[in-house]
Structure 1
Amino acid sequence: MVLSRFWLVIFISSIAFVMFSLFSGNSYTIDHVLNGKKDDPILISEKYIDQIPAFIKDSINKSEEKTFTINRDTLNIDTTYVYKNKTVKIYSGVQKSDGLLPTCKSTLLDLILPLMAYLAFFCGLMELLIISGVSEKLAKVLSPVFVKVFPSIPKNHPSISYMTLNFAANFLGLDSAATPFGLKAMESLQEINPEKDKASDAQIMFMCLHASGLTLIATSIIGYRAAANASNPADVMLPCIITSFIGTIAAFLIVGIRQKINFKSASLLIGLMMLIAAIVGLLMYVNHLDLIGKNYFTTNLSAIILIGIIVATLIFSFLKEKKFTEANTTVYEAFVSGANNGVKTGVTIFPYVLGMLVAISLFRNSGLFEIISDWIAFIFSNMGVNKEITDALPVALLRPFSSAGSRGFLIDSMNTFGADSMTGRLSSIFQCSAESTFYVIAVYFGSVNIKNTRYALGTMLIVDVICVITAIFVASWFF
């Protein structure tokens, strides 16, 4: 219900603002909101050639392309004049994201189809894990901890192994593997959900822990920083880990208090201490490496572990081939069956993702997001917050809505202020310390047709705020 109302508010307010801008004269056309593409120039006016300044008219006539661009300075957007069919079209600025119709197309071609391919492959592997008995063994090992965090889940339930693989994939920055494991976990949890259209306590806890974004190897962030010529691309790794870890703990405490979980459980405390020890141990190892060593380690660790999971699954399936025979199938046929289920899951979640991304597209292209972010930055600056921090806030504000959009702000902030600036580093921490909340909710709850997400959205947004505040303090401390 909360998600539905929020979606309606975004949609209706964005459309209302677009129409207001058009009829008040602030916008010349709204075609870009529907048909424009990211980084396309925006048409702001159209005049007859005799109505434009003489020096611009002369420059257009001298140009073979019949265009003229005024490049004021690096801080202001260019204005381009294009002469065609007796009129001069005036363009200024670029579009922040794809319009509504291109978003529909790109959601299917650039997002859902690749996601379906990932789902097909990893769901095929998970079918092997199920039939070979690996998932059952993993669930038995981890049940003492998971039954404390998820008291409504029966002991040794298959969802435990799927959630473990999802957390591990997120932990290591394996985004392509994390989503299929997570969707399988949601499907498994839905089987024991007494109210099928309402999120269960276990599903909410899983979603909030997943969305808190605990990441040890921020491979993509390091790559973006290396491309932006950072002196040490991996220098934000520790701040990212600290921020995402605090976000994860905050999510666990907020949901745990709501669900009345026993925080004094010995097995729970042991599990938490083991996690902290693993993080500290790996940090100590990475910290003693030189720059090349850090880059080499962070680049290869995730890939090696993913390949290791694939190889181990196939070897174990070969060794337990009798179980496949007993199930009246073969290893390959089981893989194909699981992959087919992955494709069906991708088809199921497509409408949910489409609806959310189209709303976000309208929200950004309407100009409403920029106004809100500018006001928030203005309020923070008047509170005495450092300008280097307020310059990074657009990344934090857009991150819950769109990973691609916030990534664009991240790259822009590093190009504008420098990868080694406080703004560039803080933007990097914002980007890697949380998930795209609305996208995640649309995908995961949509995959099992959950309509009432209860307090999941509110909790995830609170955790996003906690991550933002933590990132600011951690970045100020480190840099």
Structure 2
Amino acid sequence: MVNLIWAGLFFIGYIFAAFQGNMTAVNEAIFTGAKEAVVICIGLISVVTFWLGMMRIAELAGILKKMSQWLQPLITKLFPDIPKGHPAIGYIVSNMSANMFGLGNAATPMGIKAMKELKKLNNDKDEASRSMVTLLAINTASITLIPTTVIALRIEYHSIAPTEIVITTILATACSTIGAILIDRFFYYKRISKGRGSY
């Protein structure tokens, strides 16, 4: 469905450009954008690789395990349906840790694995469980302590102070995460109060 939407937007824009005589500008933008995308991706590879390596070192050093223990009370509160010691908890912690360091690309595989484990807990039903909805809300809001990818982009475009966004990013993502959790709980308890069960 998403692919159809993107294709539709592309063709509509192309048709409007043709009618308004802006095809030259559109073609130029396409090739310029493609070139910039390649340059940005190559520039981000080093940053993402560095932080993935740091996370691997943290995992081998037992830091992620410690973080998992620190986050355990929070995870238990947020995901009461998940049994203690279930593999989904480890994936959720890894997903949250990657998001905290602004590594959305690294967080995505962990989020997918967590969702697969949560689906197994939900007896492979097509309807999302309470924990699946909560994970999606938290992953989307994703509190970020170090916006690695954005800092890398600012460096790529020669920002004078690429790290000056750290404090505002922490505040903004903290607000979005708290908002996501509150909205998730609001609709959950509203559904329960109507006698419709879980999500």
What TM-score do you get using the length of structure 1 for normalisation?
0.30
Q: Relative to 1, partners in 2 of residues 1:97 and 1:10: Cα closer, same or farther, differing over 3 Å? A: farther
Distance 2:182 2:85 in 1: 24
* Structure with higher strand content: 1
Name the structure 2 match of 1:214: 143
Q: 1:181 aligned to 106, 110, 121, which one?
A: 110
Q: Does 1:21 align with 2:16?
A: yes
Q: Deviations over 1:158-197 (max 9, x none)?
A: 2112211211121123445323322221222121013532
| Cα distance in 1 between the residues matched to 2:72 and 2:152 | 37
Q: Deviations over 1:40-74 (max 9, x none)?
A: xx744xxxxxxxxxxxxxxxxxxxxxxxxxxxxxx
Q: Does 2:109 correspond to 1:191?
A: no
For 1:229 and 1:200, how far apart are their aligned partners in 2? 45
Contact 1:143 1:156 in 2 (8 A): no
The one-letter code of the counterpart of 2:29 is V
Structure 1 spans left out of the alignment, 5+ residues: 29-41, 45-76, 78-90, 99-105, 262-454, 456-479
Find out whether 1:94 has 2:20 as its counterpart. no
Work out the CA distance in 2 between the residues paired with 1:192 and 1:138.
Answer: 24
Residue in 2 aligned with 1:260? 189
Q: Is the 8 A contact 1:139 1:156 kept in 2?
A: no
Percent of counterpart pairs with the same letter?
Answer: 28
Say which of 171, 176, 183 aligns to 2:100. 171
Read off the aligned partner of 2:76 and give its amino acid letter. Answer: V
Q: How many residues align?
A: 170
Structure 1 pair 194/236, CA: closer, same or farther in 2 (3 Å)? same
Alignment CA distance shift 1:183-1:16 (3 Å): closer
- The answer for the alignment partner of 2:131 in structure 1 is 202
Partners of 1:94 and 1:186 lie apart in 2 by: 38
Q: Secondary structure at the match of 1:245?
A: helix
Q: More helix per residue: 1 or 2?
A: 2
TM-score by length of 2: 0.64
Q: What one-letter code is carried by the residue in structure 2 that aligns with 1:205?
A: T
| Deviation by residue 1:331-376 (Cα, 9 ceiling, x = unmatched) | xxxxxxxxxxxxxxxxxxxxxxxxxxxxxxxxxxxxxxxxxxxxxx
**Secondary structure of the structure 2 residue equivalent to 1:169:** helix
Structure with the greater relative contact order (CA < 8 A, sep ≥ 6): 1 or 2?
1
Query: Does the 8 A contact of 2:103 with 2:149 survive in 1?
Result: no
Partner residue, 1:160? 89
* Structure with the greater alpha carbon radius of gyration: 1
Q: Is the 8 A contact 1:142 1:160 kept in 2?
A: no
Q: How large is the Cα RMSD of the aligned pairs?
A: 4.0
Deviations 1:118-160 (A, max 9, x none): 9xx99xx8xx99xxxx97x987775443232112222332211
Equivalent residues in 2 for 1:4-153, closer than 5 Å: 4=1, 7=2, 10-11=5-6, 13-14=8-9, 17=12, 21=16, 26=19, 43-44=23-24, 93-95=28-30, 142-153=71-82
The one-letter code of the counterpart of 1:187 is: K
In structure 2, the residue matched to 1:251 is 180
